[in-house]
Structure 1
Amino acid sequence: MTPAEVARLRAATPGCASVIHFNHAGASLPSQATLDAILGQLQRETLGGPMETADQSVQARARSAAASLLNTEPEAIAFASSGSAAWGMAFNALGPWQSGERILVGRHEWGGNLACIARAVAAGAQLEVIPCDETGAVSVSALQQMIDPKVKLIALTWLPANGGLINPAEAIGAVARQHGIAYFIDAGQALGQLPCDVQALNCDVLKGAGRKFLRGPRGTALLYIRPGFMERLQPTQLDVLSAPWDGAGFTMRNDARRFETSEVSVALLAGLANALEECNALGTTAIRQRIDGLSRGLRERLLKIPGLTLHNLGPQGHQSGLIAFTLKGWDCVELKLRLAQHGINIGANGVAYTPLDMQARGLESIARIAVSYFNTEEEIDVLLGRLRELAESGSD
């Protein structure tokens, strides 16, 4: 992206005028056009009635844009209120779980997914962690050695919440497809940050939140279900949309909308549709290049701050825009709050976010910088300057 393109994107993002935002992994700043889409739909509902102005073209736009982003068909896309809700619905639809069935996960699995899996474990399933390779990523060769007929699911968090790791999602998908094992990808931090082709990934289910690098509104999420996998999933909740009346009874839909309900926020989907279209127009390859360039330089400069320790995983030169660190003398949450007082947003995560990995590495919490494509070198300079000041002063 040229400086002029970045300047245009920032001018179209009102938040850039009031805050330096490095918490895109939590929730990014939406564009004015995304805000306008939400407000425009709300205005139509206010004047004409919410049910009467629920234009189906809004959902169609969002579904088409999501399908383009993932290289699939609109019928394979469902919308949910959050990524955790989407993943949980798909996981619960795999049941019931039997004693001895095995679930293989990466060490970096998102805590919300593990909470869902805990119910399957209570029913007798076995949760097993795939070993990591020398870079800290999920080991594909170790996974191969773990496969047997009792493995019912392989679950992967592609880009973990507590560092810059990019797990080998495509290679793991090849193993899953070779053995006919269900494969779920949590792409919460991946969508809008790097290219995501579900055909190449060979996944059966993939979810991602709208609020993160896609820059959509909170309360929106995407759920991809591979069409050939649909028949294996029996949702635990149905309504007249997901299982319409056919004159003789209620029959589940044969597309991904069997995971949706008839009640939905059309305004939020209007915002998500705009955010997805903006992402597609920019292109995820260009977005990835921009984020990679900014985050590489930032990592190198962070290493020069006394008392600052990076907690990244993955091979150097192949990492995401999520940068985990701790600063000597500072509690991570307090550090986040102190930076916020200076108009700088970062994140701070505890063990619950990625419990298996955090415990394995002896980490109680991490501060997290998450870079997006419309951040600038000037913003990075300000962030680094404040971190140096805090490193020198210590927590008071």
Structure 2
Amino acid sequence: MDVETLRQDTPGTANRIHLNNAGAGLMSRQTLRAVTSHLELEAAIGGYEAAGQERDRIDSTYGHIARLVGGRAHEIALSDNSTHAWNTAFYSMTFKPGDRILTGRAEYGSNVLAYLQTARRTGAEVVVVPNDESGQLDTTALADLIDDRTKLVGITHVPTSGGLVNPAAEIGRITRAAGVPFLLDATQSVGQFPVDVAELGCDMLTATGRKFLRGPRGTGFLWVRPEALAYLEPRVIEIAAATWDGKRSFTWNDGARRFETWEVSYASVLGLSAAVQQCLDIGMDEIGRRTLALGTYLRDKLDAVPAVTTYDLGRRRCAIVTCKAENMTTADVATALAGHGINVSTTDPVQTQFDAEDRDVHPLVRLSPHYYNTEAEIDRAVEVLTELTSAC
């Protein structure tokens, strides 16, 4: 991987050490051009006319995303973010009293709220699968908990609050054998390392454009296995999702596009398409090796700082690294690093409620390198953090 060329194509690397890719990755120049050129075209000839002129490029987005996750173009629905894509899938399911929704301790906060709301509305039960001794979801416990009342297994692949990578492929094998739908939130994994829906065995997968894919904010997508359409009934319908029969009925559009809305920011879609194409051009295997190596390098460096403790769980860990510094609040650490031109983020208990119930560690400092970061940048971030803790 030619990291220096990639950095030259990433304007943000010139003035910051960006270790907040789990929040939003830095866009490349080609992604930025895709967005701005379409906005300029809209301004020049009109929004509808610009969309018509660029229709082939817009439509190619579905094929790019499908290649990225190992699916097919008609299995992709575009969305304005991952949470809306996830809600689109989840709220398309029907639950009744006594039904069970199985999830993990690493589940994302918005997903948890949706489970709790559905349980309140329908009488369904939310069951939290325990972690194993490493801190990842216990797949043996999951298999034991699945019964004829289980209507969904909803899992976050990589949590927003740490470097854990849940064993999604094993979860997929369990759910397929049991005939239970599997909804995978891959918001933090798509773009960070290879994700293949056939290997994972999920029935629905959601992701965002703004994080490790390095796309613009306001983009995301849903992948749906065709067989899952038999039990998914979109809760919102509009002219992009279905065809009126001319009388008093309608037919859902084929494939996943029945989950889309008609109005879309096509500039953002083209930006997402460019970002995904860049991932495909570089190669997700190469990206995964580089990004995971940087995460390991960073975690090892932080573990060597006496006043810093890392908190990442699981047998397999990724490029999200969480830590605490002695005698400094998490917010103060993030602010101090920002003062040195180093972007990081922080975790919050409301982002992973079930994890917060289990571990009294949040808030944490969250650092998340990507393939365009360098070891020298990581060294500098650790050096600053060492100086900060030494001064306390």
Instruction: Return the TM-score normalized by structure 2.
Output: 0.97
Match of 2:107 in 1: 109
C-alpha contact (below 8 Å) 1:165/1:314 kept by paired residues:
yes
Match of 1:294 in 2: 294
Secondary structure of 1:15's counterpart equals: helix
- Structure 1 residue 374: deviation in Å? 0.7
- Structure 1 residue 355: deviation in Å? 1.1
Take 2:154 and 2:15, find their aligned partners in 1: how far apart are those partners?
39
- Moved segments of 4+, more than 6 Å: none
C-alpha contact (below 8 Å) 1:165/1:313 kept by paired residues:
yes
The answer to whether 1:40 aligns with 2:26 is: no
Take 2:293 and 2:134, find their aligned partners in 1: how far apart are those partners?
21
Match of 1:89 in 2: 88
Take 1:162 and 1:73, find their aligned partners in 2: how far apart are those partners?
31
**Which of residues 22, 26, 30 is equivalent to 2:27?**
30
Match of 2:266 in 1: 266
Quick one: which amino acid aligns to residue 311 of structure 1?
Y
- Structure 1 residue 19: deviation in Å? 0.7
The answer to whether 1:118 aligns with 2:116 is: yes
C-alpha contact (below 8 Å) 2:296/2:318 kept by paired residues:
no
Take 2:264 and 2:209, find their aligned partners in 1: how far apart are those partners?
15
Identity of aligned residues (%): 37
Quick one: which amino acid aligns to residue 41 of structure 2?
R
C-alpha contact (below 8 Å) 1:58/1:266 kept by paired residues:
no
Deviations 1:49-107 (A, max 9, x none): 00111132232121111000011110000011111111011101102x21110000011
C-alpha contact (below 8 Å) 1:58/1:269 kept by paired residues:
no
Take 2:363 and 2:96, find their aligned partners in 1: how far apart are those partners?
35
Quick one: which amino acid aligns to residue 112 of structure 1?
S
Secondary structure of 2:48's counterpart equals: coil
Quick one: which amino acid aligns to residue 100 of structure 2?
R
The answer to whether 1:379 aligns with 2:377 is: yes
Q: For residues 217-366 of structure 1, what are the structure 2 equivalents within 5 Å?
A: 217-248=216-247, 249-315=249-315, 318-366=316-364
What's the RMSD between the two structures over aligned residues?
1.0
Match of 1:133 in 2: 132
Deviations 1:281-311 (A, max 9, x none): 1111111111122121221111121221100
- Structure 1 residue 118: deviation in Å? 1.2
C-alpha contact (below 8 Å) 1:230/1:254 kept by paired residues:
no
The answer to whether 1:6 aligns with 2:3 is: yes
C-alpha contact (below 8 Å) 1:287/1:373 kept by paired residues:
yes
Structure 2 stretches lacking a partner, 5+ long: none
Take 1:197 and 1:257, find their aligned partners in 2: how far apart are those partners?
20
Instruction: Return the TM-score normalized by structure 1.
Output: 0.96
Take 1:152 and 1:208, find their aligned partners in 2: how far apart are those partners?
22
Structure 1 stretches lacking a partner, 5+ long: none
Range moving further from structure 2, 359-368 or 20-29: 359-368
Secondary structure of 1:52's counterpart equals: helix
- Structure 1 residue 335: deviation in Å? 1.4
Secondary structure of 1:93's counterpart equals: coil
- Structure 1 residue 205: deviation in Å? 0.5
Take 1:50 and 1:390, find their aligned partners in 2: how far apart are those partners?
51
Deviations 1:26-68 (A, max 9, x none): 0000001000000010011000000111132232121111000
Across the two proteins, how many residue pairs are aligned to each other?
A: 388
